[in-house]
Amino acid sequence: MEIFEALKKRHSYRGQFTDQKISRQTLLKIAEAAILAPSGCNKQTTEFVIVDDEAIVSKISALPGANMAVQTAKAYIVCLVDKDPKPAFEGMSFEVEDCAAAVENMLLAITALGFASVWVDGWLRREGRSEQIGLWLGVPESKKVRIILPLGVPAEQKAQPDKLPLGQRVWFNQYRNL
């Protein structure tokens, strides 16, 4: 799939997945897209755990309050960041940006490969879900589960929601060309 086609087709899929599994080769290809993302000062701060073990998948999918994609995922990619990020440049850390860039690369790769996912963040931050998943995955105390991507073959096809026209969000040289 060409890059602009993937950009246009990518959307947050919160629906049910089919029972089709995803091969480890495909999961590694998606993870490779993550590590190819830019990172502040090339620190490459985000790490990843691919979850395809049925027992762990079942535990994550059973956590309360999960959307249908989390509940029916066949695998997850879990993104880890440092709890106490180290400065990369002039006292600034870019771990949030690094993680976001990696996640977007993976979402585009997932779309291009014919799968679907949704960026799961807020749900993790409540009721100790991030910490629980971290325990199940053996994540060290110095790291935290920041994002998970539930993966699967979508049971229904959905289109990307309409976006505002370019002319309402993009200008040359001055905001709204005032």
pLDDT, tens digit (0-9, with 9 covering 90-100), for 27-63: 999 999 999 998 877 788 899 999 999 999 999 999 9
- Tell me the one-letter amino acid at 40: G
Classify each residue of 8-17 as buried b or exposed e, where b means 16 or more C-beta atoms within 10 Å of its C-beta. ebbbebbbeb
pTM for the full predicted model = 0.91
CB atoms within 10 A of CB 85: 15
Q: What is the pLDDT of residue 141?
A: 94
Q: What is the pLDDT of residues 1-21, one digit of tens each?
A: 788 888 888 888 898 999 999
Q: How far apart are CA 87 and CA 173, in angstroms?
A: 32
Domain 3-177 matching CATH 3.40.109.10: the answer reads yes
Beta-carbon contacts of residue 89 (< 8 Å; ≥ 6 apart): 40, 41
Beta-carbon contacts of residue 142 (< 8 Å; ≥ 6 apart): 82, 83, 84
At residue 92 the predicted structure's pLDDT band, cuts being 50, 70 and 90, is confident
Q: How far apart are CA 1 and CA 113, in angstroms?
A: 8
Beta-carbon contacts of residue 111 (< 8 Å; ≥ 6 apart): 1, 6, 9, 10
Q: How far apart are CA 177 and CA 78, in angstroms?
A: 42
Q: Which residues pair with 143 in a beta bridge?
A: 82
CB atoms within 10 A of CB 67: 16
Q: What is the pLDDT of residues 115-130, one digit of tens each?
A: 999 999 999 999 999 9
Q: How far apart are CA 86 and CA 79, in angstroms?
A: 17
- For the segment 56-75, the average pLDDT, to the nearest whole number, is 94
